Amino acid sequence: MSIMITAKDNDKVKYTKALLKTKNRNKESKFIIEGYRILTLAIECNANIDYVFINEDFEGKDEHVSFLNTLRTKNIKIYKTTNKIFNDLVDTENTQGILGVVKFKPKNIEENLNDESRFVLILDRIQDPGNMGTIIRTADAAGVDVIIALKGCVDIYNPKVIRSTMGSIFDMNIIHTTQDEAIRLLKSKNFDIVSSYLETNNFYNTVEYSYKTALVIGNEANGINEELVSKSDILVKIPIYGKAESLNAAISSAILMYEIKKYLV
The Cα–Cα gap between 221 and 248 comes to 9
Domain boundaries, the chain: 3-103, 109-261
- Which amino acid belongs to residue 183? I
Burial of 224 per CB tally in 10 Å (0-12, 13-18, 19+): buried
75 Cβ contact partners less than 8 Å away, ≥ 6 residues apart = none
248 Cβ contact partners less than 8 Å away, ≥ 6 residues apart = 131, 220
Is the CATH number 3.30.1330.30 carried by domain 3-103?
yes
Predicted model pTM: 0.93
Give me the CATH code for the 109-261 domain, please. Answer: 3.40.1280.10
The Cα–Cα gap between 104 and 194 comes to 30
Full pLDDT tens readout for the chain, 265 residues: 789 999 999 999 999 999 999 999 999 999 999 999 999 999 999 999 999 999 999 998 889 999 999 999 999 999 999 999 999 999 888 889 999 999 999 888 988 898 889 999 999 999 999 999 999 999 999 999 999 999 999 999 999 999 999 999 999 999 999 999 999 999 999 999 999 998 999 999 999 999 999 999 999 999 999 999 999 999 999 999 999 988 999 999 999 999 999 999 8
Question: Alpha-carbon Rg of the chain, whole angstroms?
Answer: 21
Q: Virtual CA dihedral for 163, 168, 171, 177, nearest 10 degrees?
A: -70
The Cα–Cα gap between 50 and 179 comes to 32
The Cα–Cα gap between 220 and 212 comes to 25
- Which amino acid belongs to residue 238? I
